[in-house]
Amino acid sequence: MQQDDPKTIKDAAPTGTQTLLRGLGVVQAVASGARDLKEIARLIGTTRSTTHRLASCLVDERYLRVVPQVGYLLGPKLIELGFQAREELPLVSLAGPYLDELSALTGDTVHLAIREGDEVLYLLKNPGRNGPEMRSRVGHRMPLARTGIGKALMLDDSQEQWKRLYEISLPAGGKNQFWPQHQEQSWEQFQQRMVEYVAGGYAFDLEDNEPSIRCVAAPIRDAGKRIVAGISIASTVPYMPLEKMAELIPLVKGVTARLSAELGAKV
């Protein structure tokens, strides 16, 4: 998951808000992997004593916790607020029954996700009965161009945007850490598939991100016909042959159309 640079937040602060923003900077530094006061102070640009006061206050308020031999970690208060924020998003409440329906019909893993910048953010996940558990989880982020649901969220983008998102999704050094022997598809191959997906109103993940994982996805639109989210049905290759993927296209598109209608879209 990408984190904002805590120092950037502090430097952009108007007068009178630095204490609050430094506190947020501490939280973001811990979220990015800082585990001790020295590293947190380096990231947010404060003295060790100031950092200690801020961190101690955040621990007292349960925004951070201290674990022996590990250091600072995000605290339970953030978990509570995260779940509250997710539950207050109407889309999550509306989509829940639709995901349950797809889970019951297919036995596969079903996801709901939205777009945040250049990434997919997973909001709901119904684990499937078929095959092993997947790495995806609620709150997890992935580059848009590497997932089926991400490609569904890109269907209205220009080809220039597709190329940019394709290029920034490529793994460092050209090798996928979860699949070192994987041959990445070229831009031309990616472009051709996206054109096909736009025409069909769906998107596939054909083991683009991790070995043996395939999925079928479609976008959810609002009253302005904008893509606001996506739903995907995913499983491992033995449970997701190409023939089944083709059969799932009308199913997932039908569900996203009904959910789009609930958001005011004319279907």
Packed helices 76-88 and 90-106: angle between N→C axes, nearest 10 degrees = 90
**Under 8 Å between Cβ of 249 and 225:** no
* pLDDT of 180 strictly over 60: no
Task: Report the length, in residues, of the chain.
Answer: 267
Q: Is residue 203 part of a domain?
A: yes
Q: Is residue 8 part of a domain?
A: no
Q: What pLDDT is recorded for position 16?
A: 55
211 in helix, strand or coil? coil
Residue-range definition of the domain harbouring residue 58: 15-84
**Residue predicted with more confidence, 174 or 201:** 201
Looking at the structure, do residues 80 and 93 belong to the same domain, yes or no?
A: no
Q: At 81, which amino acid appears?
A: L
122 in helix, strand or coil? strand
Q: Is residue 63 part of a domain?
A: yes
Instruction: List, for residues 40-64, the tens digit of each pLDDT value.
Output: 999 999 999 999 999 999 999 999 9
Q: Is residue 6 part of a domain?
A: no
Ranking 2-11, 53-62, 90-99, 232-241 by mean pLDDT, the lowest is: 2-11
* pLDDT of 172 strictly over 80: no
Q: What pLDDT is recorded for position 171?
A: 76
Question: For the chain, what is the domain count?
Answer: 2
Please tell me the distance from the alpha carbon of residue 157 to that of residue 159, in angstroms, as a whole number.
7
Strand partners, 67: 71
Q: In CATH, what number is assigned to the domain containing residue 222?
A: 3.30.450.40
**Residue predicted with more confidence, 74 or 209:** 74
Q: Is residue 112 part of a domain?
A: yes
Instruction: List, for residues 130-160, the tens digit of each pLDDT value.
Output: 776 677 778 788 999 999 999 999 999 999 9
Burial (CB count <10 Å: 0-12, 13-18, 19+), residue 137? exposed
Token pair of 198 as six digits: 């736009």
Q: What pLDDT is recorded for position 217?
A: 98
* pLDDT of 27 strictly over 90: yes
Looking at the structure, do residues 71 and 100 belong to the same domain, yes or no?
A: no
Tell me which of 51, 84, 117 is where a domain ends.
84
Looking at the structure, do residues 131 and 248 belong to the same domain, yes or no?
A: yes
Looking at the structure, do residues 104 and 154 belong to the same domain, yes or no?
A: yes
Looking at the structure, do residues 129 and 240 belong to the same domain, yes or no?
A: yes
Count of beta carbons in the 10 Å neighbourhood of residue 20: 10
Between the CA of residue 12 and those of 30, 114, 193, 205, what are the distances in Å?
20, 28, 41, 39
232 in helix, strand or coil? strand
* % of the chain exceeding 70 in pLDDT: 87
Looking at the structure, do residues 93 and 28 belong to the same domain, yes or no?
A: no
Strand partners, 65: 73
Tell me which of 84, 111, 139 is where a domain ends.
84
Looking at the structure, do residues 103 and 229 belong to the same domain, yes or no?
A: yes
Q: Is residue 108 part of a domain?
A: yes
**Mean per-residue pLDDT, 93-109:** 93
Q: Is residue 109 part of a domain?
A: yes
Q: What pLDDT is recorded for position 176?
A: 52
Looking at the structure, do residues 93 and 78 belong to the same domain, yes or no?
A: no
Helices of type H across the chain: 6-11, 18-31, 37-44, 48-60, 76-88, 90-106, 148-153, 159-169, 187-200, 242-262
Token pair of 11 as six digits: 């430097």
Ranking 62-66, 126-130, 175-179 by mean pLDDT, the lowest is: 175-179
Q: What pLDDT is recorded for position 210?
A: 80
Tell me which of 45, 62, 84 is where a domain ends.
84
Residues 6+ apart with CB under 8 A from 39: 29
* pLDDT of 174 strictly over 80: no
Q: In CATH, what number is assigned to the domain containing residue 54?
A: 1.10.10.10
**Mean per-residue pLDDT, 83-93:** 77
Looking at the structure, do residues 50 and 181 belong to the same domain, yes or no?
A: no
User: Which of 122, 124, 128 shows the shortest CA–CA distance to 97?
Assistant: 124
